[in-house]
Chain A
Amino acid sequence: MHQVLSNKRTIFLLVVPGFLFFLVMVCVPIAMSVYYGMTDWRGIGDYQMVGFDNFVNILTQDKVFWRSLWNAVLLVIATVVLQHPIAILFAILLTHMGKWEKLFRVLFFIPAVISIVVTSKLWSAIYHPNFGLLNKVLESIGLATWKQEWLGNPDIAIWSLILTIMWQGFGYALLLYYAGLQGIPEDLYEAAKLDGANHVQLYMKIIIPLLAPMMRVAIILAVITCLKQMETVFLMTNGGPGESTQFLGNYVYKAAFSSSLYGYGNAISVLFVIFCLILTVILNKFLKKDVGEF
């Protein structure tokens, strides 16, 4: 009896600091954001309460907000559908490289450790219509008609950005899947081979399904990172041209700090939090089913 009581108190005492921390660092600022989101504060001086006007305006009249959300969703889809399969493929290839394995592991991970500022400027230079690498290479191999204003054309700028972001994050996805592959026992490979599975069957039907837990982690991380995108956008296009590459993180920055609309900016960030929560719930339901099946 005594044991249980003191146990509970210990548990409580040990949990409280972390919980308080979470409360003060996360919940309180969000509550403050909700409050300021209901004002028309411009950074200097007094403000008026405007109720839910900001929220309503964002949801009904702000095309840039919906465009930013859509861009974030596009990025998530592209990451999961393009980057991850390639990462899985490379992870599998890595395990077959023998003595080159360590070298290539490092090489593939390098983009992930380069500072985002450097990456943004690097890719901006590559995409430059006049002296950028991409256009020059296209010209030299005779595909001059494919030359584009990679960042200046509102229709394709978003894809140029997505490519850059995927390139940078590739290392993390690769690392996760590689680690996942290491966790699969060798015997399974042998057993499958004994049962007459060829390479394709081995990987498609056995190994990749066993990567499902890792996939779940990788997808969650990908979604979180994609929604958070701000630096690359800010440095490469600042949401342009014509708000076609705007992302929510950058949009909040622009609204709050560039336009000095702190009330509006706070409202956007609150809606962003809500959106992320909804997405998390959906993701959890979806991924649970996946893992459960195997």
Chain B
Amino acid sequence: MLLLVCTMLFLAACSNNGGTSTNSGDKNANSTPSPAEGTTKDPEPEQITLKFFTALADRANGLGKVEQDIIDQYMVDYPNVKIEVEALQDEPYKAKVKVYSSTNDLPDIMQVWGQPSFIQPLLDNNLLVSLDEANFKDLDFVEGSFDGFAKEGKIYGVPRGADYLVLYYNKKMFADNGLTAPTTTEELNNVIATFRGKNINPIAINGMDGWTLPIWFDYVLQRQTGTFDTMDMGLRGEKAFTDEEFVKGAKAMLEFAEAKGFADGYLTADYGAARNLFGQEQSAMYLMGNWEASLATDENFSEDFRNNVAAVPYPASDVAPSSNLASWYGGGYSIAENSKHKEEAAKFLNYMFQPDRWAKMIWEADAGTPAQKFEQFLTGNETELQKELVNIFNTATSSSGTPIHDSATDEFKQTVMDAHQSLLVGKLTPEQFAQALEDAANKTR
């Protein structure tokens, strides 16, 4: 009985090394025969196993499918390499990264977000390998896309996509009510008032998740001050969040919420709920990222909806045109410092980001916008929505960079998101909101 208990304890204590991926060792090395002097025969390549850790849990659709297809193809092209994929959803993924890093056992290639809230701890603790810039030079990456993955002049990750926030809208719902898509913030307010008068939800948004709210604040602030720098200056401490302009921005957000610009119940709507609300034509607009291009092809929604969904940039104001876009390079890949196959991993990343692989495939799969130039892959068969989204991106004249909440620690992120929710529900006044941001920022400056 004692033996049984001890065995159980032993198993329990050692079980954290199990995890969902298979636990096989790093390599099945066949010892390479040393080439005899003078022969030109290639030595038999070493059997290598790479561990690939990703937050794209859906391996059958969208980005996850493209990822898996490239991996499968690589294994065909290079039979000596085996790539073991572990895929989790966003939140469990982030938690598991922490577990891996605490045992210094990060997977060879892992997904990262090129934003301080995720990547800074990894960089500060030297857990990622600095990549050779030459390896990615000729792959047509857009200027500035590596910034979020860089530290002190070296790059530590490869960006896989450009993300930007747009306003989706339902053309039919607008037409039925005699409205056209708003191009200025004033038109937006009018449109909202009209929809509310007819008991229609104006804008669906996933308020419960919280992260869209700070990005929206970026827009609101920028449309008032004319530049995205205001927010950045606040973060750096060159301005205080309690300054006039931030309070004014907060007041604008509060007014918007009080005018019921967002759909009813938006603060307890999660991502799926908000998307569905728009897709089921229960709301006229949807404030979300460009990765939702698939709204136009999602068979779960009516054909009517699919034919009528369109996108416009966030409306302009007197001091800021709508070509000022809240955009950033979010997802990407890095190689772990503790990897035993750094070169092989780098080789894989180079393979993956050949323009006719990653960029072309995700564009054709309607799964997002690559961080590389991809005009040459436009097939001409894109949906209207895709064309509009590409146009918005290509005509952008300034970009916000990483949104405020992702620009510091996780704690800062939570505090910022909570502050936004509290402001919009009336628990914090704009001044208190500004103070909350200032206090949170002080901790990180």
Residues of A within 8 A of B (CB): 13-14, 16-17, 20-21, 24-25, 42-46, 124, 128-131, 149, 151-152, 154, 157, 236-238, 240-244, 254, 257-261
Contact = CB atoms under 8 A, between A and B. Distances in A.
Interface string B311-342: 00000000000000000000000000000000
Contacts of B263: 130
B1 interface: yes
Contact of B268 (A24, A45, A236, A254): A236
B252 interface: no
B46 to A, nearest CB: 31
A151 B98 contact: no
B434 to A, nearest CB: 16
A131 B282 contact: yes
A130 B121 contact: no
Contacts of B127: 44
Nearest to A18: B5
Contacts of B8: 21
A98 to B, nearest CB: 44
5 contacts: A13-B1, A44-B121, A259-B409, A259-B410, A259-B411
Of the listed residues A24, A240, A243, the one surrounded by the most CB atoms of chain B closer than 10 A to its CB is A240
A153 B2 CA distance: 55
Contacts of A157: 268
B409 A243 contact: no
B210 to A, nearest CB: 8
Given A157-B268, A261-B410, 13 more contacts: A43-B102, A44-B127, A46-B125, A130-B201, A130-B265, A151-B265, A152-B425, A237-B208, A242-B418, A242-B422, A258-B91, A259-B411, A259-B413
B9 interface: yes
Contacts of B131: none
Contacts of B91: 257-258
Interface string B1-36: 110110011001000000000000000000000000
Contacts of A16: 2
B424 to A, nearest CB: 8
Nearest to A256: B95
B282 A130 contact: yes
Nearest to B412: A259
B145 interface: no
Given A20-B5, A124-B268, A151-B265, A45 B208 contact: no
B264 interface: yes
Contacts of A46: 125
Interface in B66-113: 91, 95, 98, 101-102
B265 A240 contact: no
Contacts of A21: 5, 8-9
Interface of B: 1-2, 4-5, 8-9, 12, 91, 95, 98, 101-102, 121-122, 124-125, 127, 201, 208, 263-268, 273, 282, 409-411, 413-415, 418, 421-422, 425-428
B321 to A, nearest CB: 34
A241 B421 contact: yes
Contact of B410 (A17, A130, A260): A260
B200 to A, nearest CB: 10
B125 A44 contact: yes
A1 B167 CA distance: 87
A43 B91 CA distance: 14
B5 A241 contact: no
Contacts of A130: 201, 263-265, 282
A241 B262 CA distance: 15
A241 B5 CA distance: 46
Contacts of B418: 242-243
Nearest to B125: A45
A154 B425 contact: yes
B410 A42 contact: yes
Contacts of A45: 121, 124-125
Contact of A149 (B98, B102, B265): B265
Given A43-B121, A154-B427, A259 B267 contact: no
Of the listed residues B409, B421, B426, the one surrounded by the most CB atoms of chain A closer than 10 A to its CB is B421
A294 B427 CA distance: 49
A154 B414 CA distance: 19
Contact of A260 (B208, B273, B409, B426): B409
Given A129-B264, A242-B427, A257-B95, A42 B409 contact: yes
Contact of B101 (A44, A149, A244): A44
A242 B418 CA distance: 7
Given A17-B2, A130-B263, A259-B410, A241 B121 contact: no
A258 B410 contact: yes
A24 B124 contact: no
A154 B8 CA distance: 46
A189 B106 CA distance: 69
A238 B415 CA distance: 14
Contacts of B422: 241-243
B407 to A, nearest CB: 15
Contacts of B124: 45
Contacts of A151: 265, 268
Contact of B265 (A24, A42, A152, A254): A152
A238 B417 CA distance: 12
Nearest to B8: A21
Given A16-B2, A44-B125, A241 B414 contact: no
A240 B268 contact: yes
